[in-house]
Amino acid sequence: MSIKFKKDDVIQNTVYDVYENYDESKSTVEDIILPERDKDKDPILDIRGLGIDFGGLTAVDEFTIAIGRTEIAGIIGPNGAGKTTIFNLLTKVYQPTRGTFLFDGKDTSGMTTTQISKMGIARTFQNIRLFDKLTVEENVKAAMHEEVNYGLASGIFHGPKYRKQEKAAHERALELLSIFDMQDLADYQASSLPYGAQRRLEIVRALATNPKVLLLDEPAAGMNPSETAELMNNIRKIRDTFGIAILLIEHDMSLVMNVCEGIAVLNFGRIIAKGTPEEIQNNPAVIEAYLGKKKEAK
């Protein structure tokens, strides 16, 4: 089965006409609103015409945006629009059928998930994926395997190098957990945590890999309004403390409109609008994608 739709149907309505103007050689920085402070620097993520087909189904097509070094950007769109697929493309869970993306100016074609993670892209998952049987602290420490770099021999004999690095890892894990006030939960088994805490732990684990870009897949899912408000503050706090870019997928509009500086709206795998929260809110294409087409007034 394949979903067919005419390219032009969508394009007519877009504010930023990325498809027509798309040029391989040219940097795409102008294509998205970068926050003022990031304008003079190269974008951390420069995504160029990314697309993937599953059999006959085009899940994502011509996805082109650039993300600033300290930007908080959001991807929104109806269910099945291909938002999570984009995260899977950015972390190389899937290899793209078309297009590529530059991370920190480097082409990422043909890289594996592990390599991408080492370069500095970390993510959380829509359906929580923790290391259930490890403790909270171990979940975080497992992600610090680049800093904790003793070999198997040290791992077996627990020598001075082991003790020094484990102590440092323990302190850093608690420090990271304290962002979300979770340091007291360090010794609990990850699967025994309440749902909200599990979501927060996933973010801490992603941060423990020292990323330059953090991808959050529906971080507010299942959270109540007060938890969501707290999450908003924490997202800003993470950006300010670590100076990293954050790209998030979210259905909670209050969160997206409040924290994101740039937003891309996705429908049927294509960007139908890009811009600042204000621009997106007033965009007819977005309103149509979410609420359906308005009948012609007589």
Partner 1 sequence: MKMKIKNGRLSPYTKNSIISYGIVIIAFVVVSVLNGMGLVSSTLQGQLVPICAYIIMAVSLNLVVGISGELSLGHAGFMSAGAFTAIVVSGMLEASDMPVIARFAIAVVCGAIVAGVLGFLIGIPVLRLRGDYLAIVTLAFGEIIKNIMNIVYAGVDSHGFHLRANPDLGLEESGRMLLNGPMGATAVQRLSTFTAGFVLVLITLFVVQNIMNSKQGRAIMACRDNRIAAESIGLNVMKYKLMAFTVSAALAGMGGALFGLNFSTLLPIKFNFNTSVLILVFVVLGGLGNIWGSIIAATILTVLPEVLRQFADYRMLAYAIVLILVMIFTYSPKIKNFTQNFMENTFRKKDKKPEAEGGAAV
Nearer to partner 1 among residue 132 and residue 240 (C-beta): 132
Question: What is the rounded distance in angstroms from the CA atom of residue 87 to the CA atom of residue 94?
Answer: 9
Site string for partner 1, 154-193 (x = CB under 8 A): xxxxx---x--xx--------------xx-xx-xxx--xx
DSSP label at residue 216? E
How many residues touch partner 1 under the rule CB under 8 A: the total is 51
Token digits for 40?
Answer: 């003079």
Does residue 126 bind partner 1 (CB under 8 A)?
Answer: no
- Which helix (H) or strand (E) segment holds residue 262: the answer is strand 262-267
Shortest Cβ 288–partner 1 spacing (Å): 35
Choice between 174 and 197, CB closer to partner 1: 197
Distance in Å, CB of 135 to partner 1, minimum: 7
Could you tell me the sign of the dihedral formed by the alpha carbons of 260, 262, 267, 272, in that order?
positive
Smallest gap from residue 153 Cβ to partner 1 (A): 10
CA–CA separation, 205 and 209 (whole Å): 7
Residue pair 43/69 in contact (Cβ under 8 Å)? The answer is yes
The correct pick among 81, 86, 102, 122 for binding partner 1 (CB under 8 A) is: 122
Nearer to partner 1, 229 or 253 (CB): 229
Rounded-to-integer distance, Cα 116 and Cα 226, Å: 34
94 belongs to the binding site for partner 1 (CB under 8 A): no
Q: Which of residues 7-46 bind partner 1 (CB under 8 A)?
A: none
Spatial distance between the Cα atoms of 248 and 195, rounded to a whole number of angstroms: 19
Q: How far apart are CA 149 and CA 165, in angstroms?
A: 8
Residue of 60, 111, 130, 213 interacting with partner 1 (CB under 8 A): 130
206 binds partner 1 (CB under 8 A): yes
Q: For residues 59 and 208, which CB has a smaller minimum distance to partner 1 in the complex?
A: 208
Query: Binder to partner 1 among 133, 293, 294, 295 (CB under 8 A)?
Result: 133
Class of residue 283 by CB neighbours under 10 A (exposed 0-12, middle 13-18, buried 19+): buried
- Our CB check for partner 1 shows the closer of 181 and 278 to be 181
CB 44 within 8 A of CB 67: yes
Q: How many residues make up the chain in this entry?
A: 298
Interface ranges with partner 1 (CB under 8 A): 91, 93, 113-114, 117-118, 122-123, 125, 129-135, 138-139, 141-143, 145-146, 148, 150, 152, 154-158, 162, 165-166, 181-182, 184-185, 187-189, 192-197, 205-206, 208-209
